[in-house]
Amino acid sequence: MDHAIRIHQVTKNFGKKNVLKDINLSISPGQIYGLIGPSGSGKTTLIKIIVGMDVPSKGDVQVLNTSIPNLKALQNIGYMAQSDALYPELTGEENMAFFASLFKLKKSVQKERIVYAANLVDLSSHISKKVGTYSGGMKRRLSLAIALIHDPQILILDEPTVGIDPELRLSIWNELIQLKKKGKTILVTTHVMDEAEKCDYLSMVRDGMILTSGSPSALKAQYNVSNLEEVFLKAG
Ligand code: ADP
């Protein structure tokens, strides 16, 4: 397989507003690929198009060499949206079990996956509590655990660490790196530059356009600067 995700000439308009302008990118399997840009630059719109929750005005998206939307390809994606979609009156474990049931996992596998995912996001001691009692950061962690529940090949995470304290943020990034080592492909949006540093490859976006792309070290070398913030300023 050449690409885990391939975006070809994608444009998106909302009415007269042109939100994505001829986006092209390809994500190799086993990469952590970062989409970096300020709020309003079009990251979420692009993510929603990749996961089949919105459609491009023009262009084509392929996931695992299949044009989206396609049920099989979408089932290979774990998606963590920017806002949490959880059931407050159910416990963390019940929320995970609910989403696991959508993927028709065997009961024994489901149990294993819940234990694994809860542990990964450091929620094991809270999964029998109702989600309505969780803090914002705990809800983000539960959403990440749910994105992982069916052991997808591709993880798509929209601002996964917003509202999460620095220590846990670091541990989540360490886990993402472990998942990458297991062969997962991870697409992540962020506006935090030290998170961008941990990506294998970055595209910097502004006003619906990709300003520049490359590995963090290649970008810094190309623009002859010492940090990614300066790359962003120079590229723009
Ligand atoms: P980001 O994720 O980078 O913050 P978004 O993709 O959420 O950016 O938004 C990009 C632009 O598209 C913003 O100007 C936003 O207001 C606009 N936008 C997003 N969704 C819609 C919509 N459903 N209708 C109209 N405009 C939208």
Token reading at 30: 């086993």
Nearest CA to ligand 1 atom 16: 40
Q: Which residues neighbour 70 within 8 Å (Cβ) at sequence distance 6 or greater?
A: 63
pLDDT tens digits along 3-43 = 999 999 999 999 999 999 999 999 999 999 999 999 999 99
Is 173 in a helix, a strand, or coil? helix
For residue range 168-222, list pLDDT tens digits in order: 888 889 889 999 999 999 999 998 888 999 999 999 999 999 999 999 999 999 9
Distance (angstroms) between ligand 1 centre and the Cα of 40 equals 6
pTM for the structure as a whole: 0.94
Name residues whose C-beta falls within 8 Å of residue 13's C-beta, 6 or more positions apart in sequence.
19, 57
CA distance 174 to 168: 10
Q: Is residue 55 lining ligand 1, measured as CB closer than 6 Å?
A: no
44 lines ligand 1 (CB under 6 A): yes
